[in-house]
Amino acid sequence: MRDHLVNEARKAGERLHHFHGGLRLRHNKKISCTTPVEKVPLATRYFVPLLQQTGREAKALVSTGQKILKGDPIGSFAHLGSGYVHAPTSGIVTAIARHPNSHPSGEDGACIVIKPDGLDQWKPLQPIENWEQAEPGLLRQKIQESGIVGLGGAVFPTAYKVGEASLRGIHTLILNGSECEPYISCDEMLMREQPQSIILGARILQRAIGAERTIIAIEDQMGAVHASLSGAVEQSGATEIDIVQVTTIYPEGGEKQLVQVLTGLEIPSGGRPTDLGLLCQNVATATAVARAVVEDKPLIERIVTVTGNGVRRPRNLMAQLGTPIANLVDQCGGYTGDAARLILGGPMMGYALSSDSNPVIKAANCILVLTESDIQPPQPEMPCIRCGECARVCPSMLLPQQLDWSIRNDLWEEASDLGLADCIECGCCDFVCPSHIPLVDWFRFGKAELQLLAAEREQAEAARKRFEAREARLQRLELERKQRIAEKKRALGSANDKRKKIAAAVERARSGKGGGS
């Protein structure tokens, strides 16, 4: 069955399909695409969070007072294939302290505070000279050492995905340039201005995983992007790379939705694109791979869209990780007088920040500044009227109203059976709900509860196994003790029997002597 699906997936891009649900939204991207990408000047302080990818915080590799160079590893991860956090510039580590770290939880996290020395001096660089002849394992190692994660927002370690893909028999690499959420245009500007680096990254990734071809998926509204990428493909001579324009509908940029659009195949619950012989990566991730391999430059900066009616000059900026968001807003002319809310990400899946002292992180694709008029006044939550609109627009084909009821009533097994883990938190259900029910908030809460319950089950299972192991060990020791006692008794019985036999023999001997005298 898998072989059949893999063969069907080889036809990816030959014709387009549709996924269930979705929304057609106003994109509001042009306001940030009128000027070229600008580089953000050096900050006076950098706050580099140690939580920069899926999973737990990294372990600091530096100490207060230590001098560092640009690109030096300053933190290391020990999970999901490991990885690193790197210094965004040269300078001195002034502190390792709790600081706002731009995390969805809103809680502070451990950050390495760096005071730049103004030299912006790189560490010694050792690029791979001839990547086309290099061993794929060496390319994967360089990706891992460079701290690259998925820059579409998930920040899952790229080295882990690439390493797994190399073992699964991948035939097609999909580069996701379908930037579907409103306002965000960082990938569009990257594809316009750096198409050669994307093509180079695609070719390197193909070699690293053994893929036969690459599809770069972009929205059908991106005419300038299509021309830019097509020219770069032609210039590179890479005949195995195709540019495919997909219909602009939110959230076609979701991994499972994009695979369905390109192949017509659904990835089942708990499945991955690698099950179909596919690997999905963001176009910005491909650029980071190219820089890591041919320049030995780790992921220390990214393009960030700074936009919204609450900022004076919306645009895209190349910002170093750890730069305070306030610096980016200042470079865009500052806030308007009616700026009211700061969001990291887009209006559908982003989350509010309490302060612009939060730093730029690897997941920071957009800084959205909204005004009072942009923000809908909070509406009172009403009972669900079972209209079914949420199910109609759900791209994961879930039943949001039923999931909401299950979560509110602590029916966790039912919520799990209904596919809560498959919710991509796109916000479509919230957008159309006439009762103003905060469905996504409940789904996030439900996922956290399921993770907690799973952790508790794991702990209980581990405790059960420890108890059973202890009981088995005690039973074994008791059995061994009884066996030793039994052996001693047998040995003692044998000794007594022997003594008795000797005594009897002696007695017989005595009796024989007495009878002969």
End-to-end CA distance of the chain: 102
| Burial tier of 313 (Cβ tally within 10 Å: 0-12, 13-18, 19+) | middle
Final residue of a structural domain among 307, 333, 349: 307
The backbone torsions φ and ψ at residue 256, rounded to the nearest 5 degrees and listed phi first, read -70, -35
Instruction: Classify residue 458: in a domain, yes or no.
Output: yes
Over residues 43-87, the pLDDT tens digits come to 999 999 999 888 788 999 999 999 999 999 999 988 777 789 999
Angle (nearest 5°) at CA 74 between 145 and 155: 55
Residues 259 and 119 both lie in one domain: yes
Identity of the amino acid at 307:
T
Instruction: Classify residue 326: in a domain, yes or no.
Output: no
Residues 406 and 269 both lie in one domain: no
The parent domain of residue 451 ranges over: 380-517
Over residues 175-224, the pLDDT tens digits come to 999 998 999 999 999 999 999 999 999 999 999 999 999 999 999 999 99
Residue listed under structure tokens 């999931």: 403
Query: Helix, strand or coil for residue 180?
Result: coil
Q: Are 52 and 362 in contact (CB under 8 A)?
A: yes
Question: CA 458 to CA 477: how far, in whole Å?
Answer: 28
Residues 254 and 401 both lie in one domain: no
Final residue of a structural domain among 246, 272, 307: 307
Over residues 274-294, the pLDDT tens digits come to 999 999 999 999 999 999 999
Instruction: Classify residue 429: in a domain, yes or no.
Output: yes
What single string gives the DSSP state of each residue in 255-294? HHHHHHHHHSPPPPTT--GGGGTEEEEEHHHHHHHHHHHH
Identity of the amino acid at 166:
S
Residues 432 and 289 both lie in one domain: no
Final residue of a structural domain among 307, 323, 353: 307
Question: CA 63 to CA 440: how far, in whole Å?
Answer: 40
Instruction: Classify residue 317: in a domain, yes or no.
Output: no
Residues 403 and 295 both lie in one domain: no
Check residue 516 and give its pLDDT.
Answer: 47
CB neighbours of 170 closer than 8 A, spacing ≥ 6? 209, 210, 211, 274, 277, 278, 279
Residue listed under structure tokens 């084909």: 397
pTM of the model: 0.88
Instruction: Classify residue 7: in a domain, yes or no.
Output: yes
Residues 302 and 413 both lie in one domain: no
Question: CA 232 to CA 287: how far, in whole Å?
Answer: 13
Check residue 268 and give its pLDDT.
Answer: 85
Check residue 207 and give its pLDDT.
Answer: 97
Instruction: Classify residue 346: in a domain, yes or no.
Output: no
Indicate which CATH number applies to the domain containing 44. 3.40.50.11540
Q: Are 67 and 92 in contact (CB under 8 A)?
A: yes
Question: CA 385 to CA 169: how far, in whole Å?
Answer: 48
Residues 411 and 497 both lie in one domain: yes
511's enclosing H/E stretch is helix 439-516
Separation of CA 226 from chain center: 28
Residues 397 and 286 both lie in one domain: no
Q: Are 74 and 68 in contact (CB under 8 A)?
A: yes
Show the tokens assigned to 350: 């982003």
Burial per residue of 442-458, b for 16 or more beta-carbon CB atoms within 10 angstroms, e otherwise: bbeebbeebeeeeeeee
Percent above pLDDT 70 for the chain = 99
Check residue 513 and give its pLDDT.
Answer: 58
* Average pLDDT over the chain, rounded to an integer: 93
Instruction: Classify residue 128: in a domain, yes or no.
Output: yes
Instruction: Classify residue 186: in a domain, yes or no.
Output: yes
Q: How many CB atoms lie within 10 A of CB 105?
A: 9
Residues 401 and 517 both lie in one domain: yes
Over range 155-173, report the average pLDDT. Answer: 93
Domain count for the chain, please give it: 2
CB neighbours of 298 closer than 8 A, spacing ≥ 6? 71, 73, 84, 86, 145, 146, 147, 148, 292
Residues 400 and 293 both lie in one domain: no
Q: Are 90 and 124 in contact (CB under 8 A)?
A: no
370's enclosing H/E stretch is strand 366-371
| Burial tier of 421 (Cβ tally within 10 Å: 0-12, 13-18, 19+) | middle
Q: How many CB atoms lie within 10 A of CB 214?
A: 25
Indicate which CATH number applies to the domain containing 433. 1.10.1060
